[in-house]
Structure 1
Amino acid sequence: MKKSAIIKYWRNVRALTLEVLDRFPESQMSFRPAKSIRTAAEQFDHILAVELYIRKGLTENAWGPVPTPGLGISTKKGLLEKLTWEHEETGRVLRMLPESSFEGFYQTRFGRLSGEGIIYLGIDEEIHHRGNLYTYLRLMGIEPPQMVQNYYQLFLEE
């Protein structure tokens, strides 16, 4: 897939993640279905941590452990601002990287992966944790957003 298409796809994934965040009442950001599971705020923080890990890895070839959530952002407003700003920054950085960054291979904690594969891994990770957040919403009696969002736009030429 072309670099621009990957970036566009991830932006679409993030837009739905932000819609999920919007559905959470502020008072429920500390909700967790069980003690051993992340809170809603920690789930969003983890999504961000993985994105930052990928961005740093692709720009600095630094592939240590994925950082644990720890930004300490627990408000909807704070998470929305951080998730939005960092994703815009990731898009900017990815657009500046040469195609070879996407085609080349990196030794990561997940094994030897292409840059493109690493980005897909991050997208899958975001979708996985967003799925957990869908369950949280349902447990609170809140209808999550529709899963399919704007896919027709992904294939339009820019």
Structure 2
Amino acid sequence: MDTLTTPQVINSEYLLKHWQGHRNLTRKVIDAFPENHFFEFTIGGMRTAAQLTAEILAMGAPALKSIVDRSEEPFSENRFNLETKAEYLTKWDESTAAINANWEELSAQDFHETFNLFGLYNFPVIQNIQYFIDNEIHHRGQMFVYLRALGITPPFFWER
């Protein structure tokens, strides 16, 4: 069966809604951190919430832009010089808008084309996008643990 004519379980619009639901929840988690703990608190040698957020920011919108432009840009976790939690949240919102805008540039065929993301991940676009989502969920889980260790109840994981 041709994958482009096979009935779909989810479509592009739903996948974007799914991703943005995760991004909405991650934003709530970031916002729950007290300013100092966002930049300083760690457990077991893991990176701070700010460092985890910097990675997510450096991946999602810039990587999707690279996919749309077909430009193999190297990964740069330090691409933004952010110093406050408010700056991270502003960049998060800007990234959300950029993801939405670039998503509109993707065709159904694009999801099946192979793209060498960051020169490291040579997979179909759909798998790269799933990686963005999985990576964010993974790091959000770490931030949930941090919040719990700080005595802060994180947002419910289903409140996307």
TM-score (norm 1): 0.84
Aligned CA distance change for structure 1 residues 63 and 32 (closer, same or farther; 3 Å): farther
Aligned CA distance change for structure 1 residues 46 and 111 (closer, same or farther; 3 Å): closer
In the alignment, is residue 2 of structure 1 matched against residue 11 of structure 2?
yes
Q: Secondary structure at the match of 2:122?
A: strand
- 2:99 aligned residue: 90
- 1:126 aligned residue: 136
Aligned partners of 2:14 and 2:79: how far apart in 1? 31
- C-alpha deviation, 1:110, in angstroms: 4.5
- 2:83 aligned residue: 74
In the alignment, is residue 13 of structure 1 matched against residue 59 of structure 2?
no
Query: Which amino acid counterpart does residue 46 of structure 2 have in structure 1?
Result: I
Q: Which moved more, 1:122-131 or 1:59-68?
A: 59-68
- 1:141 aligned residue: 151
Instruction: Give the unaligned 5+ runs of structure 2.
Output: 1-9
Give the aligned length: 150
Aligned CA distance change for structure 1 residues 64 and 70 (closer, same or farther; 3 Å): closer
CA contact (8 A) 1:29 1:75 kept: no
- 2:33 aligned residue: 24
CA contact (8 A) 2:32 2:154 kept: yes
Measured on the aligned residues, the alpha-carbon RMSD in Å equals 1.9
- 1:46 aligned residue: 55
Q: Which moved more, 1:111-120 or 1:25-34?
A: 25-34
- C-alpha deviation, 1:34, in angstroms: 4.8
Aligned CA distance change for structure 1 residues 76 and 70 (closer, same or farther; 3 Å): same
Q: Secondary structure at the match of 2:77?
A: coil
Between the two structures, name the one with larger relative contact order (CA 8 Å, sep ≥ 6): 1
- C-alpha deviation, 1:64, in angstroms: 4.4
In the alignment, is residue 113 of structure 1 matched against residue 117 of structure 2?
no
